[in-house]
Amino acid sequence: MAAIALLNFGLVLFDYSYIPFRDYYLRFSPEFTRWYGERFKGIEPERVTAAYLKTVEMLEQQVVEDGISSQAVQQLLAELQTRSAAIIDENPFEIADKTGALERIKTRIRDRVGDATDQEFESSKDAFSTFWSQSYLFNQGYTEELDFFNSEIRPLFEANYYRSIDSPLLGLSGIPTDRFILIDMWFIGIFAVEFLARTWWLQRRYKDTSWLDTMMWRWYDIFLLFPFWRWLRAIPVISRINQSNLIDLEPIRNRLTRGIVANFAIELTEVVILRIIDQVQNLIREGDITQSLLNPDSGDQYIDLNDIDEIKVIVERVISTLTYRVLPEVKPDVEALLYHNIETALKGAPMYSQLRSLPGVEATSERVAKQLVSEIYDALYASLTNAMQDDVGAELAAKLIQDIGDSFRREIQQGSADQEIASLVAVWLDEVKINYVKRLGEEDVEALREQTQKLYAITQK
């Protein structure tokens, strides 16, 4: 069914392209092109141009029989001169929208006769009159000039046509004849039978599903049943050939999808980040963030979800982590730093410099200093941990944290420090937008696609 759908869509595309590309089809397959046009498009040879070419054929036959100087040839040449002038005046190419072909005919005749006679012909009628004259054909060579006509002029005349009006099979009037339905109705019948059979099978398999629902499972197949808007058949055709693996479209789909997603991701990321930064700037300028940080209990619009001072709890968690986990791990570093400071202080004392000259004093002093540093660290760490575990110590630590926070809020509001900080933060966010966020719009999409392609290849492996 995928192959049949693809064949039908190929015929649809050919039918759509027949009129615009008929001249090209005539070059490669003239007999089939004429047969298709007469059978399905109502195309007939245009009477005026067909009679003109018939007269040229009669001229060729008469020249063979009597020679170019005969009276019969003279009469045919005079008739061709008259027909040429009539074609230029009446323009029988206009009905088929091929006026451009007539203009090319006129230009080629003027150039041909002008080059042969060293004259410049502004009137194509005069050029045709000269071309179809015994003196011109005799002097320039009858065979060469007729070869020129048959190779350069005749195809343009043959491309002209007359197309009948009305499509009686469809009961339409006033439009050019189109009998493609004679081919298409067989495909539509096949697609209709398949569509009904699949719907019946699905409805029997899923008995709780209505006929309408089962039809909608493959809703795009309905386009195969339309005798009009045939270009919409591209949707079910692509779906069928992809599902049947008749043609592997997955690489194309992946490339298109990743390309679209890459472009969309850049735009979306830029918009989202800019929107977030703008919102933060607005909150800073309006003072909402400053008010919530410095006076969390004074704002009526601030909504507290859990009745917990999150900042206070965070500080407590940080101190607890530092006390029980970080400080034991960094004990050697702290002791080394304290020992260095004590040793530096001792070396600066004059009495210690004199005592160092005595035997064993320097080693003893180093041992005593290290022991002193270890005891000081242990004492401070024990005091800190006891304070954290003791209820009174914990209360005092909490009060210290609270006092530090209150003091910071109070001092930062003195003068215009809070306003200056808010202004600086807002300007800094503008700089972030200009220097970093805007660069997302200039991101090399091809590089992003290449990255996604590499990631996709890795995941597939």
Please write the tens of the pLDDT for every residue from 209-255: 777 777 777 788 888 888 888 888 888 888 888 788 777 766 666 66
In the prediction, which pLDDT does 15 show? Answer: 92
Instruction: Decide if 225 is inside a domain.
Output: yes
Count of beta carbons in the 10 Å neighbourhood of residue 253 = 12
- SS3 breakdown of the chain: % helix, strand, coil, rounded to 5? 80, 5, 20
Instruction: Decide if 59 is inside a domain.
Output: yes
Helix ranges, 141-220 (H): 142-148, 154-158, 181-205, 211-217
- Domain endpoint, select from 190, 224, 243: 243
Q: What percent of the chain has pLDDT over 90?
A: 15
Across residues 103-129, what is the average pLDDT? 87
309 with 447, same domain?
yes
Give the residues across from 45 on adjacent strands: 161
Q: Are 177 and 169 a contacting pair, CB within 8 Å?
A: no
- Rounded to two decimals, the pTM is 0.52
Looking at per-residue confidence, does 188 or 423 come out higher?
188
In the prediction, which pLDDT does 9 show? Answer: 93
In the prediction, which pLDDT does 119 show? Answer: 81
433 with 305, same domain?
yes
Nearest to 214 by CA among 192, 190, 196, 232: 196
363 with 418, same domain?
yes
Stretch among 1-10, 43-52, 197-206 having the lowest mean pLDDT: 197-206
143 with 195, same domain?
no
121 with 217, same domain?
no
- Domain endpoint, select from 196, 224, 243: 243
- pLDDT tens for each residue of 39-98: 888 888 889 999 999 999 999 898 888 888 888 889 999 999 999 999 999 899 888 888
Domain containing residue 312: 281-454
341 with 225, same domain?
no
Kindly indicate the confidence band of residue 387, based on its pLDDT and cuts at 50, 70 and 90. low
110 with 233, same domain?
no
Q: Is 421's pLDDT higher than 80?
A: no
Number of domains in the chain: 3
208 with 285, same domain?
no
Q: Which amino acid is at 75?
A: Q
314 with 351, same domain?
yes
Across residues 21-49, what is the average pLDDT? 88
Instruction: Decide if 168 is inside a domain.
Output: no
Instruction: Decide if 288 is inside a domain.
Output: yes
- Domain endpoint, select from 99, 129, 163: 163
- In terms of DSSP bridges, do strands 172-176 and 165-167 run parallel, antiparallel, or are they unpaired? antiparallel
Q: Is 290's pLDDT higher than 70?
A: no
Tell me 439's DSSP state: G
Instruction: Decide if 268 is inside a domain.
Output: no
92 with 219, same domain?
no
Instruction: Decide if 397 is inside a domain.
Output: yes
Question: Cα(107)–Cα(152) distance, rounded to whole angstroms?
Answer: 11
In the prediction, which pLDDT does 210 show? Answer: 75
Instruction: Decide if 50 is inside a domain.
Output: yes
445 with 307, same domain?
yes
99 with 137, same domain?
yes
Nearest to 181 by CA among 237, 234, 227: 227
Looking at per-residue confidence, does 104 or 290 come out higher?
104
Question: Cα(287)–Cα(291) distance, rounded to whole angstroms?
Answer: 6
Place of tokens 């599903």: 209
Instruction: Decide if 124 is inside a domain.
Output: yes
